[in-house]
Structure 1
Amino acid sequence: MDIQEKMTRRIQDDEGKNRRELLYELRLQRLENLRMREQLGRAPEDFEARRELQYLENIALFEEARRNADNLDDMMDSLLGVIRSIFQCDQAWLMYPCDPDDPHWHVPYRSTSAEHPIPMARDQLMPTTPDLAENSRLALKKQKPVPLGEESVVKDIPEAARKAAAKSALLIALYPKTGKPWLMGLHQCAVPRYWTDEEKQMFQDLSGRISDNLSATLFYRDLEQNQERLKHLSSKLFQAREDERKRIAEEIHDELAQPVLAVKMGVENALYLLDDDAPEALQRSLESATKLTQEVVTKMRSMQTSLYPPTLRDFGVITALCGFMADFANIYTTLSVYKDIAVQEEDIPEHLRVEVFRLAQEALYNAGKHSQADTVTVGLKRENSRLMLEIKDTGVGFDPATTIRYPARRLGLGLTSMMERTEMSGGTLEIDSNPGCGTTIRASWKLDSIPVE
């Protein structure tokens, strides 16, 4: 059984290993086979075999550059460094866009020798001259690399390339899976260079790998930008919701609670003014109306507190949180509520106070409705320049991953909202729970890095 068959069987047998890693090893083994053939005097004579050997060697260099890169931008620069090393040229770069009708262009990715840097910043927009527009047209028209310079029969290099000290160039259009085409180029700066057919073919072969990696880079960059936009919109949504809650709470207090309270006082006054010989039915009716209006006032105050407690606005988050915990304990009488608050109001940034209150409120509601716990403890402290909020219960617990991913009950939706709220305010949320082991929810914010609107 030869080495290729062994590697193929290994792919089939080792299902747990990453497919990309195994394919990479297979390429390396194929490269080693070709090198052994050369050492044994059976080196491939034909162009296609040499091309395959060079391609495999270059792919091995590409994979190594990918592995060693810390981020996508560094990866693209590293891959261009491999290209520059393969062709022994002074500059390798990617220009965007390869569009003769676009008024500007820039070179976000590049690899250059120390002697011949590209004299423009990565994000610096340059005007599209007629010469550069013609280069883009040539690259888009031809499916093969376009050589430029004194040794070329196509055309001389453009003025922008001369400013980068280039004497010869080799260009090819790239077509990533998103956005406009790009232009990849090589510059030879020290002396003019004639690009051989073999070099052009190799450049074309490698351009596909660069295009694939560029597609991945652009995809993840778009994904990151979309996530940032979504994060910003979510933050605005949370703020709009808080503003609306505050508005409704104020309207309940001003437009509903006060008139109902006046009605209650009027009924009580009428009851007080009744004569001793007033009909008993009238007295019972007034007493019933008094009780009903009191219940309405109590309900509206509860709604107002739930929407936006006045104490949060007037006295701060600690007072509001303590008041809510007292009301919560009166509602869930089978649950003992404890507090462990070790901070002062001034220790909590003003723009974070609503977030702390809402997270504690939602966590307590979840504990009261779902945990079946005997006790729940709310802790708030400052530790190592971080503000820490912890809600811990002794209930039945749950599987956080399953509950958040498949929120069949409101619990899952509440946890998702809590995670989003914490992240939008610059913090992190941890949920520690297992079935039968209770639940601990921890939210923390680094105080010197909390975003301020």
Structure 2
Amino acid sequence: SVSELIGQPAAQVFAAWPQFVERYHDVSEVHEEIVVGEGEAQLCFDLRISPLYTRNGHLTMAGRLVIVNDITERKLTERALRASEERFRHVFEETPIGMAVIGLEGQLLQVNKVFCEMLRYDEQELIGRNFAVFTHPDDVGKDALLAVQALKGAITSYKVEKRYLKKNHETLWADLTTTIIRDHDGQASYGLAMIENIIERKRAKLLEEERRYVAYELHDGLAQIAASAHQHLQAFAGRYHPRSPQARQELDQALKLARRSVTEARRLIAGLRPTALDDFGLATALRLEVELLRADGWTITYDETLGSERLPPTIEITLFRVALEAITNIRKHACTTHIRLALEREGPKIHLEVQDWGCGFDPAAVLHEVELSEHIGLREMQERIELLGGHFEITSRSGSGTLVIAELRLLMAEERSMTYEH
């Protein structure tokens, strides 16, 4: 209690604090922080010791004014804040996507290395400049409008697809996600922007649109002409009977070629943009491909648990093309007619397997060689799946066949596939 402390020697009261005893007899004023204890029991104090003066201005050596404040909570808060800032700095610098801290006026306050590499600028060339300088003129408006809404509190964050301008004047397509960071009073402090390069997804989207266009052109042009030619030849063969065996043979050959042209045109159309996929979904489209292969003499086992469930279009076409590419590789290189195809829904995962029991190969060697060759199917399969955040794997050994596995997590793939649909 206070009464128990009155009259006690200061050195005795603060005996547990050697720092105090050392400082108490200093003639000058003392102000410092002292730490007592260790670990979780550690305490922090703010210590002030001031000499007392007499009325005539002479220093009274026997008197000191001692003020001790417990600042343990403040120190713990500061320590936690430093740890939080260190974690943020680590994430900011090490994340594989671009990140930027943006001021309330739109100026760049901090940028990470990835963002600098994306735009081909040095850090000092970006800091302090407004984000609009690096934004495509056609996209400045929608970005600024969303930023104003976020600053006003109408929305907490926003995501937008936009174009950035690189230092070399090239255009970079990116997904921008911005969150407004607020202080304890709810006032906006700054914006945290995350920028993901989506140029490969945009290219894949354009390629898919080109495939669809070519498929429709083939269907309405070449396929119709081939089918019409075949019908006319059939009608001619039914009405006119060649007198010589050679003429009969040539007519039969012409019919076979016409029939083959129709089949090949349909195969090309199906490979470019299968109408069954659009109309009935992935499981049915694969089943129709299986039936065509069986009609050609292939032994195929097809197991699926997806049924009539429809998936986002980008996911369906990606898995369909992976399956077709794997089957095409088997037909060209595996030296077997036995295939197992499996399509399974396991909770949020879509799992595709294509297996053969042919001659096999070295996947690592082939994936390396395709960079210099015309055959890039394996690389395309891998890139298609990885663009949607999935897992792609090839297991094969010489003489032991090949297993191709493609797996997509539906929610992740669906989120990424939105880039294609917009």
Q: Give the alignment partner of residue 345 of structure 2, picking from 375, 382, 391.
A: 382
Could you tell me which residue of structure 2 aligns to residue 368 of structure 1?
331
Equivalent residue letter for 1:444: E
Deviations 1:125-144 (A, max 9, x none): 4599xxxxxxxxxxxxxxxx
Q: Which moved more, 1:322-331 or 1:253-262?
A: 322-331
Could you tell me which residue of structure 2 aligns to residue 266 of structure 1?
232
Question: 1:401 and 1:265, CA in 2 relative to 1: closer, same or farther beyond 3 A?
Answer: closer
Q: Give the alignment partner of residue 307 of structure 2, picking from 344, 354, 370.
A: 344
Shift of the alpha carbon at 1:408? 6.9
CA distance in 2, matches of 1:230, 1:351: 19
Do structure 1's residue 308 and structure 2's residue 285 form an aligned pair?
A: no
The answer to whether the 8 A contact 2:174-2:199 is kept is no
The answer to whether the 8 A contact 1:268-1:286 is kept is no
Could you tell me which residue of structure 2 aligns to residue 211 of structure 1?
none
Do structure 1's residue 296 and structure 2's residue 282 form an aligned pair?
A: no
CA distance in 2, matches of 1:378, 1:395: 15
Do structure 1's residue 239 and structure 2's residue 205 form an aligned pair?
A: yes
Could you tell me which residue of structure 1 aligns to residue 103 of structure 2?
124
The answer to whether the 8 A contact 2:242-2:248 is kept is no
Q: Give the alignment partner of residue 179 of structure 1, picking from 88, 113, 123.
A: 123
SS in 1 for 2:309: helix
The answer to whether the 8 A contact 1:375-1:394 is kept is yes
Shift of the alpha carbon at 1:420? 0.9
CA distance in 1, matches of 2:376, 2:305: 30
Could you tell me which residue of structure 1 aligns to residue 411 of structure 2?
448
TM-score, reference length from structure 2: 0.50
The answer to whether the 8 A contact 1:245-1:308 is kept is yes
Name the Cα RMSD after superposition. 3.8
State the aligned residue count: 253
| Richer in strand (by share) | 2
Deviations 1:286-316 (A, max 9, x none): 4443333222222222222222223223332
TM-score, reference length from structure 1: 0.47
CA distance in 2, matches of 1:396, 1:311: 32
CA distance in 2, matches of 1:320, 1:277: 42
CA distance in 2, matches of 1:127, 1:239: 31
Deviations 1:222-260 (A, max 9, x none): xxx999899622222222222222222222221122233
Which residues in structure 2 correspond to 1:8-407 (within 5 Å)? 73-74=90-91, 122-125=101-104, 178-180=122-124, 232-274=198-240, 285-330=250-295, 333=297, 336-373=299-336, 375-407=338-370
Shift of the alpha carbon at 1:385? 1.5
Deviations 1:169-201 (A, max 9, x none): xxxxxxxx9332799xxxxxxxxxxxxxxxxxx
SS in 2 for 1:398: coil
Unaligned runs of 5+ in 2: 1-81, 95-99, 108-120, 128-171, 176-194
Equivalent residue letter for 1:351: T
CA distance in 2, matches of 1:443, 1:392: 12
CA distance in 2, matches of 1:182, 1:365: 49
Equivalent residue letter for 1:316: G
CA distance in 1, matches of 2:337, 2:251: 41
Question: 1:263 and 1:343, CA in 2 relative to 1: closer, same or farther beyond 3 A?
Answer: same
Equivalent residue letter for 1:380: L
CA distance in 1, matches of 2:334, 2:245: 48
Unaligned runs of 5+ in 1: 1-64, 78-107, 109-121, 129-176, 184-224
SS in 2 for 1:402: helix
CA distance in 2, matches of 1:279, 1:426: 64
The answer to whether the 8 A contact 1:231-1:424 is kept is no
Equivalent residue letter for 2:236: A
SS in 1 for 2:123: coil
Shift of the alpha carbon at 1:417? 0.8
Question: 1:410 and 1:387, CA in 2 relative to 1: closer, same or farther beyond 3 A?
Answer: farther
CA distance in 2, matches of 1:304, 1:261: 14
Deviations 1:86-105 (A, max 9, x none): xxxxxxxxxxxxxxxxxxxx
